[in-house]
Structure 1
Amino acid sequence: MTYARLDTGAARAIADALAGRVAGIAVDTSGSTGRPREVLVSGEAIRAGVSLSSRRLGGDAHQLLALPPERIGGALVIARATVAGTALVRMPMGPFTAAGFAAAARSLPSGPRQVSLVPTQVRRLLADPEGRDALAGFHAVLVGGAALPERDAPSNIVRTYGMSETAGGCVYDGLALDGVGLRIADDGRVMISGPTLADGYADGHGADFVEIDGERWFRTSDLGELHDGRLTVHGRADHVINTGGVKVHPQRIELALERAGAAAAAVVGLPDPEWGERVVAVVEDGPDDAALAAAVADLPPYARPRRIVHVDAVPRTAGGKIDRPAARALASEEDR
């Protein structure tokens, strides 16, 4: 059987997967270890994720869709409503605003309500009285995609951890959902097992899906620790930039800048109070900023450098590779 792609119609793809008319859904990863890859998630894994989430949260609920439906987070919102037969209300197209969120929330029926958000959306809502009031009306607010500070977080926030390969969030507030296994690999990477694991990748290369003592595990690219069964994720094991819950690939931006005439470019993430990280480019012997901005104009807005720092030479390691910590330090100096 085939896997239905979310980007050709998420609601239909999920309904077909849950009904068994297709094997499952095909969803692109956020690509934290390189280029996005197409993950094949079975209908059984989707249903398991929905069931385990409902059990942990105390039952089914009406859903507000505020995430892109072609990504796993938004897809699971649709799946929860589909399985439970509850209402699904979609946020209006366009920029995310507190007023738009509040209006969408008001259109939900009475009863338990859930919404999935990224941290940047939560921060914007908490900064607006109307948004804060609307957020308080939800039984559970699932927040994934990036770290969310403890301070000022409402009591209905549920911090989730997962990815496309695990059919979305399968760890809530550090604790695995029932039937989901957690372990830490020798290299410090988080490993996950259980009924929500994807079938694999469309390209057939699945080295990170491994079998240990007869059980199938997925080896993530995140570093973490387990203490008394509670998972703490320390961050990515690579250099991908996480801005507003979206993972940005430096190499793609660097190539665009170099095609525009830069001798070399190093794209790094610097701390940002709203977005978590902001994209900054360190450029060697490049053209002016206008030409560089034009070179990245076709990239998504979140991937375009917020700032360009011109240097005589992009720092490199002894082996000739970009020294990203040194490049980040240069960018930080110029940012002061």
Structure 2
Amino acid sequence: MKLTNHLLHKDFRLNGRSFTSKIDLLRHAESISIPLHSVIEEWLSDTPTIELKTSGSTGKAKVIQVEKQQVIHSIKATSSYFDLSSGSKVLHCLPLQYVAGKIMLLRAINMGWELDLVSPTSNPEIQPDKTYDFAAMVPLQLENSLLHLKFINKLIVGGGAVSNALKDKLSNVDCQVFETYGMTETITHIAVKPINHVHAESYFMVLPNVEIFTDERNCLVIKAPKISKEIIVTNDVVQLISNCKFQWLGRFDNIINSGGVKLNPEEIESHLRSILKERFFVAGMPDRKLGEKLVLVVEGQPKSAEQKVQLIEKIKKLTILHKYQKPKEIYFVEPFKETTSGKIQRQLTLEVHDLVPKA
């Protein structure tokens, strides 16, 4: 059987090996891992759809069905934007069971990339004798790979916030790094933002064939008929810069109403990252006077009274924060609850550590 299937490009290579048929590829995939075989088998099957699993970071994880043709449109948009064609050398270091890792593999299969698949650890194995055209990582992987970025030309990062400290470290690397915006329903990213070099931006730029606007909550609404039959209404509060650019401000469902003042946790957290090395988040806790009071939750063992005072003083000196954006209390707890893909589950963390009543 020749590689005539439009889902499988004849030039696709996996860890240096080419394939003469679909069966040849499936046998090789099975010898590597069951997840790899499952993804490829599903993609090359006769069914018109594939399953994608949401992360569960903002609610219960769920599985959705998307059409393969929609996936192909997403693949083409990414490949066009980053100027990737058949024969492009690509590093894959993401878990295959989640949408980012799954779609990265399908891009390679469909576009005919030469893919190196490595273990999806927090410190990916990057061969120093190879140069890659493209790669995708989560922020922790990127942080741990700074010395190896010289072997990668373009890299996208998603799955979590990229701290200002990490952005500063990226300013001196040759690799072009792009932060992505997207979700399972949009088949990974629909917008990207360069975050280093002279092209660094504060705003996300949407990919081709994507329209954006906002609803009455100032949340992003996405119209992308080639990848979704439905208009997607998000809970992401944004500022529209133009009909193709937006600034992400935070999650509507995370907004804290403290004494009538609406506080955006993600905005506050972006400023606190300059003084905190540990993982943390801010949240609203019930308060008789304010309705909700702003608190800071830091991952780690409780600090001494002196250390806590020192942290409070550092926060007080952050002039970029208004007085109502400064946490009223600080809690140290461990561990944070997180999804299997590593995203912090804020509400569940508060509940298991008895900081708020269980839902």
Cα distance 1:40–1:239, how it changes in 2: closer, same or farther (>3 A)?
same
Alignment of 1:37-116 (within 5 A): 37-60=62-85, 61-92=88-119, 95-97=121-123, 100-103=124-127, 106=129, 113-116=133-136
* Offset of residue 28 of structure 1: 1.9
Find the partner of 1:316 among 277, 286, 290: 286
Q: After TM superposition, give the deviation of residue 277 of structure 1 in Å.
A: 7.1
Q: Structure 1 residues 273, 92: CA separation in 2 closer, same or farther (over 3 Å shift)?
A: farther
**Amino acid corresponding to residue 156 of structure 1 in structure 2:** Q
Match in the other structure for 2:224: 194
1:67, 1:116 within 8 Å by CA — same for their partners in 2? yes
> Quick check: 1:32–1:221 contact (8 Å CA) kept in 2?
no
Alignment of 1:151-190 (within 5 A): 151-153=168-170, 154=173, 155-173=175-193, 174-190=204-220
2: CA distance between counterparts of 1:35 and 1:166? 18
- Structure 2: 5+ residue runs without aligned partners? 1-32, 194-203, 256-268, 298-326, 334-359
Q: Cα 1:30–1:334, aligned 2, differ >3 Å: closer, same or farther?
A: closer
> Aligned partners of 1:80 and 1:219: how far apart in 2?
26
What is the rounded CA distance, in whole Å, between the counterparts of 2:213 and 2:282 in structure 1? 36
The whole-number CA distance in structure 2 between the counterparts of 1:280 and 1:226 is 25
Greater Rg by CA:
2
In the alignment, residue 115 of structure 1 is paired with which amino acid? A
Q: How many residue pairs are counted as aligned between the two chains?
A: 240
Q: 1:35 to 1:275 in 2, by over 3 A?
A: farther
Summarize the Cα distance change of 1:315–1:115 in structure 2 as closer, same or farther, 3 Å threshold: closer
Counterparts of 1:284-303 in structure 2, within 5 Å, are: none
The alpha carbon displacement at 1:115 in A equals 0.8
Show CA shifts across 1:91-116 (max 9, x none).
Answer: 236x422xx5223x64x5x6x52110
- Within 1, Cα distance between the matches of 2:65 and 2:252? 23
Alignment of 1:132-143 (within 5 A): 132=147, 134-143=148-157
Determine the structure 1 residue equivalent to 2:251.
236
Q: Post-superposition shift, 1:331? A: 5.2
Aligned to 1:332: 330
Q: Distance in 2 between matches of 1:151 and 1:91?
A: 27
Q: Note the alpha carbon deviations across 1:269-315, whole angstroms, 9 max, x for none.
A: 99557998725899xxxxxxxxxxxxxxxxxxxxxxxxxxxxxxx95
Which stretch of structure 1 is more off in the superposition, 188-197 or 51-60?
188-197
Deviation at 1:25, TM superposition (A): 2.2
Once residues 113 and 276 of structure 2 are traced to their aligned partners in structure 1, the CA distance between those partners, rounded to angstroms, is: 32
Whether contact under 8 Å (1:62, 1:87) holds in the other structure is yes
Amino acid at match of 1:85: G
Displacement after TM superposition at 1:195 (Å): 4.2
Contact 2:295–2:331 (Cα < 8 Å) also in 1: no
Q: Which residue of 1 aligns with 2:159?
A: 145
Q: 1:270 to 1:217 in 2, by over 3 A?
A: same
User: Which 10-residue stretch deviates more, 139-148 or 273-282?
Assistant: 273-282
TM-score (norm 1): 0.60
Q: 1:77 aligns to what SS in structure 2?
A: helix
8 Å CA contact 2:282–2:295 kept in 1: the answer is no
Q: Taking CA–CA contacts closer than 8 Å with sequence separation of 6 or more, which of the two structures ends up with the larger relative contact order?
A: 1
Residues 9 and 168 (structure 1), Cα distance of their counterparts in 2 relative to 1, 3 Å cut: farther
Query: For residues 185 and 249 of structure 2, what CA distance do their matches in structure 1 show?
Result: 19
Q: Following TM superposition, by how much is the alpha carbon of 1:186 offset from its aligned partner in structure 2, in angstroms?
A: 1.5
Conserved 8 A contact 1:221-1:238: yes
| Alignment map for 1:227-306 (pairs within 5 Å) | 227-228=241-242, 229-239=244-254, 278=279
Root mean square deviation, CA, Å? 3.7
Instruction: Give me the TM-score of the superposition, normalised by structure 2.
Output: 0.57
Measure the CA separation in 2 of the matches of 1:281 and 1:224: 19
